[in-house]
Chains A and B, each alone.
Chain A
Amino acid sequence: MLRVLGEIAPEADLAALKPDVAFRDQLDLDSMDLLNVVIGLHAALGVEIPEADYSSLVTPDGCVDYLLSKLER
């Protein structure tokens, strides 16, 4: 997840990301960035993320929990 974010927001200090604060607020991501994150995660992990689940990716913790749940299935 951090690698994908790093490709989209290379100027960001990902080590300082707050786990419970929205990505959009910390990294100034827009919908194009979010789509690129989803595409990047799909390529890296093989996880298909439908648009209806985008709300689960709002924060770093939410994103990790979501990905783990998809990978465990």
Chain B
Amino acid sequence: MQHNCSAFLERNADVPEVQSALKSVKSLTKSKDIFLKRLSFEAEPADFAKFLSAGKFNKPQSKEEQHGG
């Protein structure tokens, strides 16, 4: 499906709607590429949901709290 639609868009590259869409997507992907080095080889999209649902987001305890006040 994606392949068919991409081919359709390429054939209609002179249509203003398609031109605008092409411009948008180039701009979006460019900024992402700068940050790609952050990803480990094993990173998975599902890691986000696991991380979010783990719920270990508490602030580090202050020294007073660590020593029982």
Q: Do A and B bind each other?
A: no
A interface list, Cβ under 8 A from B? none
B interface list, Cβ under 8 A from A? none
